[in-house]
Amino acid sequence: GITEAQARIIVNNALKLYSQDKTGMVDFALESGGGSILSTRCSETHETKTALISLFGIPLWYFSQSPRVVIQPDIYPGNCWAFKGSQGYLVVRLSMEIHPTSFTLEHIPKTLSPTGNIASAPKNFSVYGLENEYQEEGQLLGQFMFDQEGESLQTFPVPKRPERAFQIVELQIFSNWGHPEYTCLYRFRVHGVPVK
């Protein structure tokens, strides 16, 4: 058994970690912190033409989420970047040059999905380090799988810490969990150690 004081400490520590972006780790991809989206290579935003913005009853445009939402912290249902099909690319410039140590992918929990499933979630993916935006073949940092039966937030350690540091990384998604039309990316984070 534990005392009330011990229980309070456990709870407070858990809430403290939760309040620190849930991981307690710096996210070098976060847009407000200096990260930015450089490119989506050949992947295309899945334009559904469902969200119509109007003013005074006059239709103005169809709204769809841009890839920037992948490096923004709002992960309410729908606030994802949807690309056509199940193969997508995202080239991200980090806020600074780091030795990547892990990556975090987040999706909405199944309990919050109006469809009752998360078939649009990414499945197999890789992350590469690029020396510059235009490099075609970067250094493979790791191959991973987002588990739809796992937690809505999953962190993937880099198997082998790269010798060189990177300020640009490329996220390549190869498959999703079954959605035939698109794949949704809610949030991708990059953790690591800055170069001195």
Partner 1 sequence: SQSGGPCCSPAPLARTPYLVLNYVNGLPPI
First vs last C-alpha separation in the chain: 46
**Structure-token pair, residue 138:** 């970067």
Nearest to 145 by CA among 192, 99, 105: 105
Q: Judged by CB under 8 A, does residue 17 bind partner 1?
A: no
Picked from a second copy, partner 1, none, the partner binding residue 20 (CB below 5 to 8 A depending on kind) is a second copy
Decide: is 194 part of the binding site for a second copy (CB under 8 A). yes
Binding partner at 11 among partner 1, a second copy, none, C-beta below 5 to 8 Å by kind = a second copy
Distance CA 71, CA 28 (A): 9
Cβ neighbours, 10 Å, residue 135: 14
Assess 180 for contact with partner 1 (CB under 8 A): no
Size of the site for a second copy (CB under 8 A): 43
In whole angstroms, the minimum distance from the beta carbon of 134 to a second copy comes to 16
26 is an interface residue for a second copy by CB under 8 A: yes
- Check if the beta carbon of residue 113 is closer than 8 Å to that of residue 97: no
Output 7 or 60, the one with its CB closest to a second copy: 7
Does residue number 18 form part of the binding site for a second copy (CB under 8 A)?
yes
